[in-house]
Structure 1
């Protein structure tokens, strides 16, 4: 285990002990007091939680590789709306799942199946929010990414409203992206790192086609995109073609979790405007260069991705009476 993870584990253990002492003094439960999930939270109460989730995610990714980026994206969409509370999993009219940005999410079946298996082994113990957090890590590993230790102990939220779904957009400038991430206690390094998750997955042609045919109403492609890449995307997403057709976010390596996407940002060969503009900003550009080894000190993309995912997974975590352990992930108890 790396020195960084040892220090993280020691810190988390200390915080858990503090929470337990506080709870005892208040005559309450440490679960309701602790504001920080921790590694090993379930202990003997559900010893096989990680292996069960990993097995289910593997099965679903093997049957449909699109489930890997789908689950990763779902976790991001969950955490950025009301925190990491599994509210994106709730089905029904006017829930988060029905909001425009969430209609193309996939992987719900994997989370539900993992929940079913966990309920059979340790009923009423593991939250859907924790299952989704673990599944996102496993999706990264299954596509070649580096693993990380996942702190657990979240509760499931009881509220899911489509009107709450306000997410960073595909055409956002860098300054807005920085503000959106800062609002969630994430810094610029986290922004670049988590956007690097676009190394797997696709985007709908209807979402990106404007940049490649009629950028800002000019009738021409975005001049900042590599011209050869413009022609490539125009072939895959014809102007009057199927808007639901998909195009890779990471040309040439869409199924592999690596730094290829960041190299494509540098080469101006990415389909989302919000990705391309990261190369224009001095701060975000310097981070990309450090990931690619072009600037010192270098950064390890795999290691930083795990760190940023852990930070993101702590956003507005529900504890105590604020949440519950859902019996079925798509329905509030």
Structure 2
């Protein structure tokens, strides 16, 4: 009973915090905090989204990783315009790189509720960003103030997704250059990779070569921790399987948005090749080490990187549309 009261108090306090923060008018270009204040009658858009995501989180804690992945995969292709949500011929979601993206039904549920309350007001692109922030907070991550005012794009292409999304085997220097093209720093890259992977899972097929045939040598990746190698081989046989492992190998850190990922990769427990390489590359290793040992740095800096990600290629003002259904264009 005491735990239930504590949970209720925490939820109520957070809801009040959402109400207060969504009325703030700080802006970045045409994006601003509290963009929807007064635009949905007396309804608080961010609080409504919080409630729906919180209900989903109660039954599926992995929705956090799903939404983080969705936001990144949306913003990486044509910018943060909800193009990943469209169900058109040859859409982004049909591309191989987006095969594991999920959470579409949750976005649909949020959109349907908001359309009941204030039709044609809240964009699908903003729903993704707000819902992702809510999930991060629910997974014990630090609160960050989202900017809103995005509009939705018209075009979604699997071909563009495949050419835009980075491979798990991308060299660190190429990844840093790619993020730089989006206006993001090397630190942002490390923060976003760690934030997404601290709550994620990775299927065996994505890293099987590191266990048995790294760079066609017939051996394991020598940078992998030996105990981790043994554990992964128990889960991922050489013949292949549909099994998965947690991207964050730090005990007690799984499904929490914290710095456990960095603690793992500094000990050779990275799952994907890119995970392990950022721990030793000159462009990223200092950031990884700092996020590992300096208490609180990740908590306070991850949100800032997410806000910067949310600015990539946005449509605002009269650009794009505000879809009535996130899966379909209005025309």
Band the TM-score falls in, shorter-chain normalisation:
0.7 to 0.9
Closer, same or farther: CA 14–257 of 1 in aligned 2, 3 Å = closer
- Aligned to 2:52, the other structure's residue is in SS state helix
Please tell me whether the aligned partners of residues 293 and 299 of structure 1 are also in contact (alpha carbons under 8 angstroms).
no
Q: Give 1:324 shift.
A: 0.4
How far is the alpha carbon of 1:279 from its aligned partner? 1.2
Of residues 78, 85, 92 in structure 2, which corresponds to 1:89? 85
Aligned length: 301
221-230 vs 63-72, which moves further: 63-72
Q: Give the 3 Å change call, closer, same or farther, for CA 241–63 of structure 1 in structure 2.
A: same
Give runs of ≥4 in structure 1 deviating > 6 Å.
none
| CA drift at 1:321 | 4.0
Which whole-Å CA distance do the structure 2 matches of 1:137 and 1:237 have between them?
Answer: 33
Q: Alpha-carbon deviation of 1:57?
A: 1.2
In structure 2, what is the equivalent of residue 288 of structure 1?
Answer: 288
Unaligned runs of 5+ in 2: 1-20
Residue 113 of structure 2 is matched in structure 1 by 117
Aligned residue number for residue 41 of structure 1: 35
Aligned to 2:156: 160
Within 5 Å, which residues of 2 pair with 1:27-106? 35-46=29-40, 47-106=43-102
After TM superposition, list the pairs within 5 Å mapping 1:1-333 onto structure 2.
Answer: 13=25, 35-46=29-40, 47-165=43-161, 166-197=164-195, 198-242=197-241, 244-251=242-249, 252=251, 253-293=253-293, 300-333=297-330
Q: What is the alpha-carbon distance in structure 2 between the residues aligned to residue 153 and residue 186 of structure 1?
A: 20
Residues 305-332 of structure 1 show CA distances to partners (whole Å, capped at 9, x for unaligned) of 1101111100011124431000011111
The TM-score with structure 2 as length reference comes to 0.87
The alpha-carbon deviation at position 61 of structure 1 amounts to 2.1
**Cα offset, 1:299, TM superposition:** 6.4
Tell me the distance in 1 between the aligned counterparts of 2:93 and 2:26.
37
Alpha-carbon separation, structure 2, partners of 1:68 and 1:299 = 20
**SS of equivalent residue, structure 1 residue 106:** coil
- Give me the whole-angstrom Cα distance separating, in 1, the residues matched to 2:26 and 2:300: 23
How far apart in 2 are the matches of 1:136 and 1:154?
15
Instruction: Tell me whether 84-93 or 281-290 shows the greater mean CA deviation.
Output: 281-290
The answer to whether the 8 Å contact 2:80/2:314 transfers is yes
CA contact (8 A) 2:25 2:35 kept: no
SS at match of 1:282: coil
The structural deviation recorded for 1:14 is 7.0
For residues 75-94 of structure 1, what are the alpha-carbon distances to aligned partners after superposition, in whole Å with 9 as ceiling and x for unaligned?
A: 00000100000000112331
Question: How many Å separate the matches in 2 of 1:67 and 1:93?
Answer: 26
Alpha-carbon distance between aligned partners in 1 of 2:27 and 2:62, rounded to the nearest angstrom: 37
Kindly state the Cα deviation for residue 164 of structure 1 after the two structures are TM-superposed. 0.7
Classify the secondary structure of the residue corresponding to 1:247.
strand
Question: How far is the alpha carbon of 1:140 from its aligned partner?
Answer: 0.9
The Cα RMSD (Å) is 1.7
